[in-house]
Amino acid sequence: MEDYIKEALEIVKAQASVRTMTEEEMTSMVRKLSSGIQAIADNQNMPSETEPACDPKKSIKEKSIVCCECGKSFKIITKKHLASHGLTADEYREKFGLKKKTPLVCKSLQRERRKKMKEMKLWTKRGK
């Protein structure tokens, strides 16, 4: 227990050198930090599975799509962004229970793309 208090005291000491703190603030901070450090050391505070930043079923909206990994909002979730979380698009869909073919794009952009593809009629040009 003493090691946790020593570590907490070092942290509080560094904090007190940067800003003025009351005696109550220092003691409560030491208590919180020492119990927190002990909990981490005892692996009590480690979650087995991280909670998604949002509800995956509600993440795809009209004008935006929310990354369930970090909670940021986009028009499209790119491969580069998913790579920053160490995931591929397929792994992301599987992790958050989305269907395999679900596009990681907001609904308005999906509609625009679908409309443009219908206008282009690429399937008729291929036969020539």
The pLDDT tens digits of the residues spanning 41-85 come to 776 544 445 667 788 888 899 999 999 988 889 999 999 999 998
> What would the pLDDT profile of 22-32 be if each residue is shown by its tens digit?
888 888 888 88
Instruction: Name, in order, each residue with C-beta under 8 angstroms of 75's C-beta and a sequence gap of 6 or more.
Output: 63, 64, 65, 105, 106, 109
| Domains, in order of start, for the chain | 2-41 (no CATH), 56-108 (1.10.10.1550)
